[in-house]
Amino acid sequence: MNDDYYELLGVSRDASTDEIKKAYRKLARTLHPDVNPDPEAQEKYKRVSQAYETLSNAEKRRLYDLGGGPGSPMGGGFGGAGFDFADIFDMFAGASGMRGRAQGPVPRQRRGGDILRRTEISLKDVVFGTERELSFRTAALCSVCNGSCCAPGTSPTTCTVCHGTGHVQRVAQSLLGQMVTMAACSACQGHGDIISSPCTECSGHGRVQKEQTVTVRIPSGVEDGTRIQLRGQGEVGEAGGPSGDLYVELSVAHDDLYERAGDDLLTRVRIPMTSAALGTSVPLTTFDGEQDLEIKAGSQPGDVLTLKGLGVTALRSERRGDIKVELDVVVPKNLSGEEKELLRAFAAKRGEEAPRHQGRKGDGGVFGRLRDAFRER
């Protein structure tokens, strides 16, 4: 019977692939043998399936529109002798994918997608480690069908077209003889079974969109841009398939007091030149609380003092780096007349009325070298 496939599916000749698929599914719900035992309905279902199989494939549809496919106005190529251009195309192209793998139904379950989320942490969080609660919307297992995709009390039924194999054989006569090709069953989309009563909560997908909250443990010693992988915390797969992974990318916020160099923390303390000359004690704010920084008499600009064990806790270790403090000795400006006289007298006492030393230009200071070494690692 040479049906007009477009008329059989109830679509226009310029219908899109999605429109053809929707029309076929609508007809299949009423004509499929599992829901309609009438012999005439079963016969029409076979013709509808043939129409869908042809029009849903771009190459077969092109051949059909040219009059070279079954059911076309020309009744098949080569004078209506039943020679099918689409079968030849399947034999050399489309069917090769079926022969290249083990034949069998295609599982409905698929692995879920991975998720990437970003969160900001402080330098203190880097020093000690921390935890973060992240909330995001993602695909979660349907609580009504538990991933079965079926309405409660129902289950998939074996496809009567492919008998659960997920594929069908097609036999065609060609110039080379009888050709047998394999194709995915269009009735069950290659799954081997049909869900006649899909779950209304998830529309037969086995998963729904939900708000998810995950606690992320962030270890000490991480760096800006570090990604933490949480296996199985991503999207739940189709039909209750395995979940993907969650990746949390860390961004370390700028700190006003400290800069990191490896596992050490760098900072700078400004002191007057009198304190540098006489020595003093300065309260220093650290992530472990306030510490007394002892500055010896005669300390020089650029000197670096070390507070042991108060830096960053190394990644996967309990060892901590140090705090390194660079001294910034402030030379006073706008001296009064009396202050100038006192300084001149002091300089004369020490024989320092004029500088006598000439040296090479500095290389950026201790901090510059520390930062460069850390960045080159």
| HSE-CB for 159 with a 13 A CA cutoff | 23
Rounded Cα–Cα distance for residues 370 and 358 (Å): 26
Q: Which two tokens stand for residue 253?
A: 């916020």
Each residue of 171-189: b (16+ CB within 10 Å) or e? ebeeeeeebebbbbbbbbb
Which residues, other chains included, contact 197 with Cβ-Cβ below 8 Å and sequence gap of 6+? 150, 151, 154
Each residue of 130-154: b (16+ CB within 10 Å) or e? bebebeeebbbbbeebebbbbbeee
Could you identify the residue written with the tokens 């500095």? 362
Q: 149 a known binding residue?
A: no
Reference 112, options 247, 243, 245, 246; nearest CA is: 243
Q: 188 a known binding residue?
A: yes
Q: 202 a known binding residue?
A: yes
What strands, in cross-sheet order, belong to the sheet with 323-330?
259-261, 264-272, 323-330, 304-307
Q: 150 a known binding residue?
A: no
Q: Which two tokens stand for residue 110?
A: 């698929």
Reference 266, options 290, 284, 292; nearest CA is: 284
Please give the single-letter amino acid code of residue 102.
A
What is the per-residue DSSP string for 299-351? --TT-EEEETT-SPBPTTSS-B--EEEEEEEEPP-S--HHHHHHHHHHHHHHT
Reference 162, options 206, 133, 193; nearest CA is: 193
Instruction: Tell me which DSSP letter residue 93 carries.
Output: I
Annotated binding site: 142, 145, 159, 162, 185, 188, 199, 202
Annotated binding site for Zn(2+): 142, 145, 159, 162, 185, 188, 199, 202
